Structure 1
Amino acid sequence: MQPQESLIEYGSRRVIVTLTAIICALLEIVDTTIVNVALNDMRGNLGATMSEVGWVITAYAIGNVIIVPMTSWLSQQFGRRNYFAASIILFTVCSFMCGNSSVIWELVLFRFLQGVGGGALLVTSQTIITESYPPEKRGMAQAIYGLGVIIGPTLGPPLGGYIVDHFSWPYIFYINIPIGIIAALLAFTFVRSPKYTQKSAAKDIDWIGIGFLAMAVGSLQLVLERGQDEDWFNSTEIILFSILAVLGLFFFIWRELTFRNPIVELRVLKNGTLRVGTVLSFILGFGLYGSTFIIPLYTQATLGWTAQQSGMLLVPAALTTAFMMPMIGRLLQKGVKQQYMVATGMFLFFLYSLWGYKIMTPDTGEGAFFWMLIVRGVAMALLFIPIATLSLSSLKGQQIGQGAAFTGMMRQLGGSFGIAIITTYLSRQNIVHRSDLVASLNVNDPDVQSRVMGLQHMFQSKGMTADAALRSGYKLLDFSVMKQASVLSYMDAFLWLGVMFLVCVPFVLLVKSKKQAGKVDMSEAMH
């Protein structure tokens, strides 16, 4: 096995390797959210239903979550540089094919393959950046990598909105092509692979384990993405895929614990700090993707903003996170305990959620969001790097790559669970709040009668007959009720998201970490 110093880069070479890895991480994460604002255009252009076009998001997420746990093993088989560059090429080629798709299911297929290529970029980028820095600067390396992971979901919606407004939806995929080509050339030229001591023969490859893994996480991701649209367990499809997910997980665990050369080394989870880290990564994903999902939904559906306006709202928070990352890296290097930072970050996320709960109205102004989102930006910086270093702090050698794959997968699944649960919760709360509001509207109430008559007179002044004006008045009143019910539902979602983070604070403070965990040696990750 190569000595750890052989992978450390210096000067301009380190800068190039770092930029290559960050660009690849950003490419992957931006593509997770950039399509959200283009779905309507895709639907019209490809003649698809809303349910069919939803698969454009689902297929990418499934490809992502299937490949992430296998990245460590695949890097061993093909060499990390070759695997990394091949993943960039697959992602880039599939981006071109996505933009060229003429029917919806062709687009869905290439989005799945794009997700397979992209999923590998996240974990591998993290390892490449970490190994390029000497041990005393590895907290900073985590901070640099964290920029891509935290900022990526924020950049997607405004960038996608701008492209759709000024060009057409295929260009959200075409912009990946020149960047992908440059990144692949840089990867082949500058990224180096460790010398692996083990490589499986064809007969030793755990094909059955791969199959069970794909069945388990693919089915689970599908259930989470499609559950609300299909009315959860009232749908035969959702029940079937839930059963497949449970069976796949059971047989995957059995296979990996009994096969001589497992595709995913589950025994690494015997490590206590990694187990804590995987749980915290799940919660981080839940909060990161969940809050990134709620705000654009609220501003567009309730306040009537454009996709670009909604996306731009999140940019100051992303810049705050970027500004904070190097500071957090330095604090870790000076020995500040990760659990204190994580607890502070969770408490700040609670304050951000409570703030959101307080300011939401049917016509909240743009300025009301600014400082609230700055607090979110600080919270995310305090959560990401300390969770990453705490997770891997007591792992060594090959275990580090395996641990990074677990935390990466849990962060992605946390985001999927977060969006699925929040979507369902909003839908159910809308019904509850509308029912409560309607029950309190007594048609004999003088205030209600006065409001309806005022609306009727307004419509009559525009040339409507008395009957038509009355019907329009009641419709407008019903719309107001629906809008108010929607705002109350968003408020509830914010409050409970914050409470979830607040409850975690005392448990995080009880976690014991290794001394000098902030200087964790990740030099042999993925060996």
Structure 2
Amino acid sequence: MQQESLVEYGFRRVIITITAVLCALLEIVDTTIVNVALNNIKGNMGATLTEVSWVVTAYAIGNVIVVPLTSWLSQQFGRRNYFAASIVLFTICSFLCGNAHTMPELVLFRFLQGVGGGALLVTSQTLITEAYPPEKRGMAQAIYGMGVIVGPTLGPPLGGFIVDNYDWPYIFYINIPLGVIATLFTLEFVKSPKYGAKTAIKDVDWWGIVWLAMFVGSLQFVLERGQDEDWFSSELIVIFSILSFFGFFFFLWREMTFRNPIVNLKVLGNGNLRIGTILSFILGFGLYGSTFIIPLYTQATLGWTAQQSGLLMLPASLVTAFMMPVVGQLLQRGAKQQYMVAFGMLTFFVYSFWGYKIITPDTGADAFFWMLVVRGLGLAFLFIPITMLSLSTLKGKQIGEGAAFTGMMRQLGGSFGVALITTYIARDTQAHRVNLLSHVTVDNAAAAARINGGQANFIAHGSAVNTAFLKSLESIEYAVMKQATVMSYMDVFLYLGIMFLICIPFVLMVKASAGAKVDASNMH
């Protein structure tokens, strides 16, 4: 057996386990560590909120594009060589991100870093699984799973500590020594399976890759820049919308007709996988969207430091890490996947509605604790069950194809979530601002009293009458803008929750897969 020949023992197995978990951590930490530094990057680069969100989405797009290619690239160049090259690319781009002087540079290097990182997560799981004998692969997955959970846990507080005590480039520089160690371990200890003949160049689905990149990249551009460019009144937005549409159309056509598609869309003929793919997209949307918005709200509105914002997420992540093995045990004992996913969806709705009710322009830190614990509980009941639900009725080669598809859709969901939430906040804040200002008139006694009181206060502190009046109006404008921003955050929490709530009936309609066992080594 190919996998049996890769089983390791003793010291070599320990080193391979450390290497795999280290690489998975590098990839996952970098998806969340940047979030708490966005405000600093925005100020340092003189960028808008929409522009700085590309630092997150460019990395995710790089991940999404390379994940379907990982299997073929491993076969072409050998797993060890490809894995080592990916770590090197990731490490070099980490250095370049830290040295970037403009937003286009930073976004480009983040995209390339994502291309390197996409291989790390997928291949790490395969490496650690194959290094253990079949009877111990459950333990291998548990070790890997804990590493995957620790990544999002470490990201925000680690990023906050680095930004507060050093500067934002160091969130990228920290990858360099770890990347060097991982590269050396990979070259020394990782083996490559003996694959069959390499795929001929003419059999590579180059056009599939081109159409996929064109579709995803153009759509992201439209989502990110649409607000700033005034949507379809902009010729640029219209052009990229057309490119996205045709990219999607030709990608579908190519993958359905080419003899060796880079993404096997035919596997979506399986009903459970279709539902699981949609759920993976929604999970990515909610997970990355809420992870993006909370640090933004606490720093920009509440005035917290980056480290305080990061530490806020720690209890919720620990709850998820603690509950993951419990969820795994429940699944092994026959708990139905769709019931567990439905419970996770309901819990995530409770978390979102809780957020909608408590956030104000001056919400205290204590108010977030139990809300975020509920979030951690909900995510624990979504990750593994959604993967199991998606793959439970697939067999053989289809499992790997389905797993790659759900992983790609989860990443896409995250990218779209950040882009759409950013755009929505910008538009919704202005709508709330206009509505609030309509009440600030001379006919409104409360508004007039507030303006007069402010003016009197500024006069008391030495300002001239006219200057004091203008300062009072400015303070009113600031208060209105802050309240409008908070109201837009409230709307985002509410609509995220409603999205998860609507999904519950559809999840419960998915057919059960009695006794289905899925090889965890295929779940990328």
TM over 0.5: same fold? yes
Provide the TM-score with structure 1 as the length reference.
Answer: 0.90
Instruction: Give aligned pairs, total.
Output: 524
Could you tell me whether the CA contact under 8 Å between 2:219 and 2:240 is conserved in 1?
A: yes
Give the gaps of 5 or more residues in structure 1: none
User: 1:520 maps to what in 2?
Assistant: 518
Q: Does 1:127 align with 2:126?
A: yes
Q: Distance in 2 between matches of 1:403 and 1:466?
A: 70
Equivalent residue letter for 2:354: W
Equivalent residue letter for 1:384: F
User: 1:235 maps to what in 2?
Assistant: 234
Q: CA RMSD in A?
A: 2.8
Equivalent residue letter for 1:520: V
User: 1:358 maps to what in 2?
Assistant: 357
Q: Distance in 1 between matches of 2:336 and 2:139?
A: 15
Could you tell me whether the CA contact under 8 Å between 2:160 and 2:309 is conserved in 1?
A: no
Matches within 5 A, 1:235-314: 235-314=234-313
Equivalent residue letter for 2:518: V
Could you tell me whether the CA contact under 8 Å between 1:397 and 1:522 is conserved in 2?
A: no
Could you tell me whether the CA contact under 8 Å between 1:359 and 1:368 is conserved in 2?
A: yes
User: 1:86 maps to what in 2?
Assistant: 85
Deviation at 1:463, TM superposition (A): 0.9
1:442-485 per-residue CA deviation (whole Å, 9 max, x = no partner) reads 42333333222222221122111222222212221222222222
User: 1:207 maps to what in 2?
Assistant: 206
Using a 3 Å threshold, how does the CA distance of structure 1 residues 511 and 385 change in structure 2: closer, same or farther?
same
Provide the TM-score with structure 2 as the length reference.
Answer: 0.91
User: 1:173 maps to what in 2?
Assistant: 172
Helix, strand or coil: the match of 2:33? helix
User: 1:218 maps to what in 2?
Assistant: 217
User: 2:114 maps to what in 1?
Assistant: 115
Q: Distance in 2 between matches of 1:85 and 1:6?
A: 21
Farther off after superposition, 233-242 or 276-285: 233-242
Could you tell me whether the CA contact under 8 Å between 1:94 and 1:111 is conserved in 2?
A: yes
User: 1:454 maps to what in 2?
Assistant: 453
Farther off after superposition, 238-247 or 318-327: 238-247
Equivalent residue letter for 1:251: F
Q: Distance in 2 between matches of 1:352 and 1:525?
A: 27
Q: Distance in 2 between matches of 1:140 and 1:282?
A: 28
Deviation at 1:286, TM superposition (A): 0.7
Helix, strand or coil: the match of 1:250? helix
1:112-144 per-residue CA deviation (whole Å, 9 max, x = no partner) reads 221111112222233334445566776665555
Helix, strand or coil: the match of 2:510? coil
User: 2:61 maps to what in 1?
Assistant: 62
Could you tell me whether the CA contact under 8 Å between 1:154 and 1:292 is conserved in 2?
A: no
1:167-217 per-residue CA deviation (whole Å, 9 max, x = no partner) reads 233322221111112222333344444433453122322222222222222
Farther off after superposition, 168-177 or 225-234: 225-234
Q: Does 1:339 align with 2:328?
A: no
Deviation at 1:19, TM superposition (A): 3.5
Using a 3 Å threshold, how does the CA distance of structure 1 residues 384 and 396 change in structure 2: closer, same or farther?
same
Using a 3 Å threshold, how does the CA distance of structure 1 residues 306 and 233 change in structure 2: closer, same or farther?
farther
Using a 3 Å threshold, how does the CA distance of structure 1 residues 41 and 481 change in structure 2: closer, same or farther?
closer
Q: Distance in 1 between matches of 2:268 and 2:254?
A: 16
Farther off after superposition, 335-344 or 145-154: 145-154
Q: Distance in 2 between matches of 1:502 and 1:10?
A: 47
Could you tell me whether the CA contact under 8 Å between 2:96 and 2:109 is conserved in 1?
A: yes
Equivalent residue letter for 2:194: K
Could you tell me whether the CA contact under 8 Å between 1:281 and 1:408 is conserved in 2?
A: yes
Deviation at 1:240, TM superposition (A): 1.8
Give the gaps of 5 or more residues in structure 2: none
1:197-251 per-residue CA deviation (whole Å, 9 max, x = no partner) reads 4531223222222222222222223333333343333332232222212212221
Could you tell me whether the CA contact under 8 Å between 2:358 and 2:367 is conserved in 1?
A: yes
Using a 3 Å threshold, how does the CA distance of structure 1 residues 257 and 444 change in structure 2: closer, same or farther?
closer
Using a 3 Å threshold, how does the CA distance of structure 1 residues 180 and 430 change in structure 2: closer, same or farther?
same
Helix, strand or coil: the match of 1:361? coil
Deviation at 1:155, TM superposition (A): 3.6
Farther off after superposition, 128-137 or 311-320: 128-137
User: 2:391 maps to what in 1?
Assistant: 392
Q: Distance in 1 between matches of 2:283 and 2:83?
A: 26
Equivalent residue letter for 1:177: I
Aligned sequence identity (%): 70
Helix, strand or coil: the match of 1:444? coil
Deviation at 1:360, TM superposition (A): 1.2
Q: Distance in 1 between matches of 2:227 and 2:29?
A: 24
Q: Distance in 2 between matches of 1:43 and 1:430?
A: 19
Could you tell me whether the CA contact under 8 Å between 1:37 and 1:160 is conserved in 2?
A: yes
Farther off after superposition, 306-315 or 128-137: 128-137
